[in-house]
């Protein structure tokens, strides 16, 4: 016991009780406290660590209950000798020392059939929360999250009565309560009315896309993608086919022109084009649906920010006008609830959903049932709607502030926007001498985080564009941030 150094961190978010328990459990399991070792008295420990006697007593008692310690009448607490009875912590490498030979190394590159690690993708600095002007995209504003309501729903879902619902391996099935909420509460807002057999819960839009691509794309499949567009979608398809054709976008969204010929699948983001944020006009939508019939291609509609429209009536999803099942609709809770939860859903024809479900079984079985049930409660008790309204008000305000600040401080830049979303897409003014990644670097030195746009483009373009997210920046610093950014941009341009 004498060399067991216990240090408690009073600035840590962990309680002193948790910290003390953790240290003691670790010491016991790692063998630093040996079976039958006597522990210091609670009085002694409390004095030594400057913690309340109560804390030591509670930790010791918890460890006795759990079998780590035992008490011996009047003489105090001892490490329980049965605690390591399962013969844990063997030293490794005992099977066969004869196998110990000069280590060969595996040539992994030669064994692998795919190299997703080499793909270009969005990256974000880990410590972005410390920046004064985080124009980051896709990260939640913690201050808006109704943590009490969420905790309440999590707690409800963990009750004994529901144990069955969240502890079981359901193999194929989703939480019925969640599916029903998606079907009757979320989808009708996007104009989509479907049956249960047309809905699959997924680990976010990411898994919806990956699963659809796994079933529908091989090396012969011709895929059309918006350009600029979502890099993760491009990356998913690029693992399977080289036959990818980028499709240009203008202020009305994806251009439905002669180029949408001879394709099998189109991936599109009509509500808020990713990354330019423009909203596809009703005329374009109509033309797109007509074209998809004529050319007999499928449409994957990624409605990733499905509840952020600030201008007028939101347009219903393409899927709501789908007559023959061509549209595979992808929705997500990442932008409303929180992205760390990884929950989304896909809506498509029943035969496709059935195969997606079977494939999901092989991939991950199903999204965790505890999270499905907590989310179902959050929806059914109306907390989701309250939260979405709050997000909506806050984002709407930031969206206006952003728009005004951009018009004021960067009037020469081209700013595109649609009916909503949580970001702006900006093209540097004429006369800029540095590409956006260089501007981003210079801005970061001033505490301003922006996202260079190149990664969204297929081919060598987009070097002078960038994205400004506003889901995680306070309204009252937006203007200063844009002003300083304009200053950085001005330093990198002629006249």
Site for a copy of itself in 216-245 (CB under 8 A): 216-218, 221, 232, 235-236, 239
Q: Quick check: 69 and 76 in contact, CB under 8 A?
A: no
Binders of a copy of itself in range 1-60 (CB under 8 A) = 13, 18, 21-22, 25-26, 28-30
If the CB atoms of residues 144 and 442 are measured against a copy of itself, the closer one turns out to be 144
If the CB atoms of residues 252 and 446 are measured against a copy of itself, the closer one turns out to be 252
Hey, is 227 helix, strand or coil? Answer: strand
Alpha-carbon distance 142 to 122, whole Å?
A: 22
Q: Which of 54, 72, 164, 400 binds a copy of itself (CB under 8 A)?
A: 164
Distance of closest approach, residue 405 Cβ to a copy of itself, in angstroms: 25
Cα–chain center distance at 4: 41
Candidate ranges 71-79, 305-313, 433-441, 450-458; the one touching a copy of itself (CB under 8 A)? 305-313
Alpha-carbon distance 198 to 193, whole Å?
A: 10
Q: Does 125 bind a copy of itself (CB under 8 A)?
A: no
If the CB atoms of residues 19 and 432 are measured against a copy of itself, the closer one turns out to be 19
Q: Which of 1, 193, 311, 407 binds a copy of itself (CB under 8 A)?
A: 193
If the CB atoms of residues 344 and 481 are measured against a copy of itself, the closer one turns out to be 344
Candidate ranges 44-52, 134-142, 402-410, 481-489; the one touching a copy of itself (CB under 8 A)? 134-142
Q: Quick check: 207 and 302 in contact, CB under 8 A?
A: no
- Count of residues interacting with a copy of itself (CB under 8 A): 152
Query: What does 272-306 look like in DSSP terms, one character per residue?
Result: S-TTT-PPPPHHHHHHHHHHHHHTT-EEEEE-TTT
**What is the number of helices (H) and of strands (E) in the chain?**
15, 16
Q: Which of 257, 382, 411, 447 binds a copy of itself (CB under 8 A)?
A: 382
Beta-carbon contacts of 421 under 8 Å, excluding residues fewer than 6 positions away, are 271, 272, 277, 305, 308, 399
Q: Does 188 bind a copy of itself (CB under 8 A)?
A: yes
Q: Does 139 bind a copy of itself (CB under 8 A)?
A: yes
Place of tokens 């797109």: 288
Q: Quick check: 457 and 466 in contact, CB under 8 A?
A: no
Candidate ranges 338-346, 400-408, 444-452, 455-463; the one touching a copy of itself (CB under 8 A)? 338-346
Burial group, residue 452, by CB count within 10 angstroms (0-12, 13-18, 19+) = buried
Q: Which of 2, 5, 50, 161 binds a copy of itself (CB under 8 A)?
A: 161
Candidate ranges 35-43, 358-366, 405-413, 455-463; the one touching a copy of itself (CB under 8 A)? 358-366
Distance of closest approach, residue 447 Cβ to a copy of itself, in angstroms: 19
The strand pair at 423-427 and 448-449 is best described as unpaired
């Amino acid at each position: 016991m004498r060399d067991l150094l216990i240090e408690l961190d009073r600035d840590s978010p962990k309680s002193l009780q948790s910290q003390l328990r953790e240290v003691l459990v670790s010491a016991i399991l790692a063998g630093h406290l040996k079976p039958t070792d006597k522990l210091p008295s609670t009085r002694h420990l409390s004095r030594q660590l400057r913690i309340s006697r109560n804390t030591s007593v509670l930790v010791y008692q918890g460890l006795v209950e759990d079998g780590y310690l035992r008490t011996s009448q009047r003489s105090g607490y001892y490490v329980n000798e049965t605690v390591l009875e399962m013969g844990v912590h063997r030293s490794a490498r005992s099977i066969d020392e004869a196998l110990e030979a000069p280590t060969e190394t595996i040539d992994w590159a030669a064994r692998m059939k795919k190299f997703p690690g080499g793909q270009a993708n969005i990256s974000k600095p880990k410590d972005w929360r410390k920046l004064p002007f985080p124009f980051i995209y896709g990260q939640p504003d913690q201050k808006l999250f109704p943590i009490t309501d969420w905790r309440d729903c999590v707690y409800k879902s963990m009750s004994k009565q529901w144990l069955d619902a969240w502890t079981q391996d359901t193999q194929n099935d989703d939480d019925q309560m969640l599916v029903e909420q998606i079907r009757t509460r979320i989808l009708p807002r996007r104009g989509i009315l479907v049956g249960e057999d047309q809905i699959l819960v997924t680990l976010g839009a990411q898994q919806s896309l990956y699963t659809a691509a796994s079933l529908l794309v091989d090396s012969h499949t011709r895929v059309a993608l918006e350009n600029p567009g979502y890099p993760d979608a491009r990356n998913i398809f690029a693992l399977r086919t080289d036959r990818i054709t980028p499709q240009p976008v203008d202020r009305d969204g994806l251009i439905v022109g002669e180029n949408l010929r001879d394709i099998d699948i189109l991936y599109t983001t009509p509500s808020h084009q990713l990354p330019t944020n423009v909203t596809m006009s009703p005329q374009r939508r109509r033309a797109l649906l007509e074209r998809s019939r004529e050319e007999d291609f499928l449409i994957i509609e990624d409605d990733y920010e499905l509840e952020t429209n600030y201008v007028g009536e939101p347009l219903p999803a393409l899927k709501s006008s789908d007559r023959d099942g061509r549209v595979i609709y992808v929705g997500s809770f990442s932008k409303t609830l929180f992205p760390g939860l990884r929950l989304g859903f896909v809506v498509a024809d029943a035969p496709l959903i059935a195969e997606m479900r079977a494939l999901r079984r092989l991939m991950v079985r199903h999204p965790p049932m505890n999270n499905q049930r907590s989310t179902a409660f959050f929806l059914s008790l109306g907390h989701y709607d309250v939260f979405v309204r709050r997000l909506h008000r806050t984002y709407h305000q930031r969206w206006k502030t952003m728009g005004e600040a951009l018009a004021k401080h960067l009037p020469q830049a081209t700013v595109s926007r649609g009916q909503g979303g949580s970001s702006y897409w900006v093209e540097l003014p004429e006369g800029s001498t540095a590409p956006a990644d260089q501007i981003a670097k210079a801005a970061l030195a001033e505490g301003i985080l922006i996202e260079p746009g190149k990664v969204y483009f297929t081919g060598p373009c987009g070097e002078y564009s960038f994205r400004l997210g506003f889901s995680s920046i306070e309204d009252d610093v937006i203007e200063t941030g844009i002003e300083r950014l304009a200053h950085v941009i001005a330093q990198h341009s002629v006249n």
